[in-house]
Structure 1
């Protein structure tokens, strides 16, 4: 078995900590955490609370120098500068989405990375989800006719994201369309094919706050897609459903379900709630990160897939309210 690759982490908020814990607890055969950097003072305390003794290094440059692959979990404005620095140093890159909040910058970055055959991927965990694999199996022999995507939140940002509210709650970099709906657009792209936005609308509060509701109609390789999302639409912290033909669905991130002859939804036998499924998904994502770093085949989201998703996301956000 190949030696674990050295993984560096820049950005030690919720996602950085989740991936580090997954690396230490579930993926030691694939990755070896080499170091973390985050300029926030609170990050040092959070890192010290994680067993394993992973060091907080002195700078982003120090993390890049210490790793084989850099995981970038900083806010979106920093994604491309950090990725460019890591790629220039000969490292592989694993990015959080979105690639950037400036579409032109994202397009240029992807073109440059593709031209030089960069080892780079984006963290869309549905690329490694057992629930998505179950949907794929159920889809065999099912002709796609219509897709419904619904997401809802009691509030935005969600309660567990309060530490990142300074940017997640703002229109410039945050919002649930970039943070959550992008995952379901990626799933749609993987399952059905290229996306084409036909109509969209987005509602915003006064000031610079992120969107409070969106509506959109798309096609995925000709299949009609109806997308809705909103804040204050559910008492749950987070609710979502991706429903194909009214027959199979992914619900609340991790439950693959199929409608029976009686009309009732039945879960897959191995279904788990998201908090129990997430470590398994991240383990498989990290297996893919190690393969990508070694130049081997993997199923992680490509930069091109992430850019296609971002094109749709930014077009929805730019649509404004429906007249």
Structure 2
């Protein structure tokens, strides 16, 4: 079979990461059809960084050249590009959040369902080795020190020394604005997706948000949810850690606790209270290439129309559907509305 031709809109942080992952992928599976960014500076940077990548002159040109369109532009533009691609029979792989307008996102989900469109949203936890380890621990139901047994609740903590994070400062104009930015959308949505996939549909019960700086994005959020009947507590804040980015997703069971720390590291709490990493744990910097490779394998399968894997297995999760992404978005946007 011919490789899947991947078109990319957006050469920011995520666009570049997935582009490099595609270039390093098996060329029999993925081929880069071209990239376009509305920023002349971004296109010049692409020419200098990766001159072998076709630089196309419009979003329409990228869509026409590809089998699957990867959308890595700011959130408010996502659905416009996605609708144009789907109208031309292309598959779509979109960055999160799916959009910032809840009603439009839900209308889009209905449209794509009726059209039988192929598409997914890029929540990398779907292919994260550490998440697969959490699933194995839960399915094994191990007890004793570091065990889990019956799940009782989930606690999510996300913290930042500053927002945006240092590597995102080129996009501060929208990442620190209320309309499209903020850490609840950019980071919190990943953990909401993980809770939703592991435990079930999300239901928001209590929430609060703090906007202490006029015109800028949130600096603190708090929420109490249910995920398929499992209680979930979410806390997030800026200036609450000295680290650029620190997060934990802790699953508390009748037999012990397990967690995902700093995006990638699966850990079990031992009898003395110390956290022990899984034997194959690696930090996110090293895990990211493996995760993106897994995401691209699933994107290629989706585009080719091959049967989707199980939503959750010991080897990882299926890609996030448009419907799941819209559900996560609704929760995030409700929290941000205050």
Deviation for aligned residue 1:27: 4.3
Q: Are 2:264 and 1:265 aligned?
A: no
- State how far apart, in whole Å, the 1-side matches of 2:28 and 2:220 are: 43
Pair 297,220 (structure 1): closer, same or farther in 2 beyond 3 Å = same
Partner of 1:147: 154
1:209 corresponds to which residue? Answer: 216
TM-score for the superposition, normalised by structure 1:
0.96
Calculate the TM-score normalised by the size of structure 2. 0.92
Distance 1:294 1:46 in 2: 32
Question: Does the 8 Å CA contact 1:119/1:292 hold for their aligned counterparts?
Answer: yes
Aligned twin of 2:333: 314
Residues 21, 50 of structure 1: 8 Å contact kept = no
Q: Distance in 2 between matches of 1:63 and 1:309?
A: 28
Separation in structure 2 between the aligned mates of residue 144 and residue 206 of structure 1, nearest angstrom: 38
Matches of 1:29 and 1:239, distance apart in 2:
37
Q: Aligned with 2:24: secondary structure?
A: helix
Correspondences of 1:61-76 after superposition (within 5 Å): 61-76=60-75
Looking at structure 2, the residues matched to 286 and 50 of structure 1 have their Cα atoms a distance apart, in angstroms, of: 21
Paired residue secondary structure (1:70): strand
Per-residue CA deviations over 1:131-167 (Å, capped at 9, x if unaligned) read: 1000000012221101100000000000000111110
Matching residue of 1:120: 119
| 1:222 has 2:229 as partner | yes
**Quick one: which of 188, 206, 214 aligns to 2:195?**
188
- Deviation sequence 1:1-29 (CA, Å, 0-9, x none): x3310000001111000000001113434
**CA distance in 1: counterparts of 2:290 and 2:51, whole angstroms:** 19
In structure 1, what is the Cα distance between the partners aligned to 2:53 and 2:304? 23
Name the stretch that deviates more: 250-259 or 261-270: 261-270
The residue aligned with 1:275 is 285
Equivalent runs, 1:1-323 vs 2, <5 Å: 2-51=1-50, 53-140=52-139, 141=141, 142-245=149-252, 247-298=257-308, 299-319=318-338
- Displacement of 1:263 after TM fit? 2.0
- Distance (whole Å) between structure 2 residues aligned to residue 252 and residue 203 of structure 1: 24
C-alpha distance in structure 2 between counterparts of 1:51 and 1:217, whole Å: 45
In structure 2, how many angstroms separate the alpha carbons of the residues matched to 1:29 and 1:148? 42
CA distance in 2: counterparts of 1:79 and 1:267, whole angstroms: 37
Aligned mates of 1:132, 1:52 — CA distance in 2? 35
CA apart distance, 1:120: 0.6
Q: For residues 28 and 16 of structure 1, what CA distance do their matches in structure 2 show?
A: 19
Any gaps of 5 or more consecutive residues in structure 2? Answer: 142-148, 309-317
Aligned partners of 2:26 and 2:174: how far apart in 1? 30
Tell me the C-alpha RMSD between the 2 structures.
Answer: 1.1
> What is the alpha-carbon distance in structure 2 between the residues aligned to residue 168 and residue 89 of structure 1?
31
Cα distance, 1:262 vs. partner? 2.5
Q: Could you say what secondary structure the match of 1:225 adopts? A: strand
> CA separation in 1, counterparts of 2:45 and 2:301?
29
Q: Distance in 2 between matches of 1:236 and 1:88?
A: 44
**Conserved in 2, the CA contact under 8 Å of 1:24 and 1:52?**
no
Size of the aligned set, in residue pairs, is 318
| Equivalent position SS for 1:247 | strand
Structure 2 CA distance for aligned equivalents of residues 172 and 203 of structure 1: 15
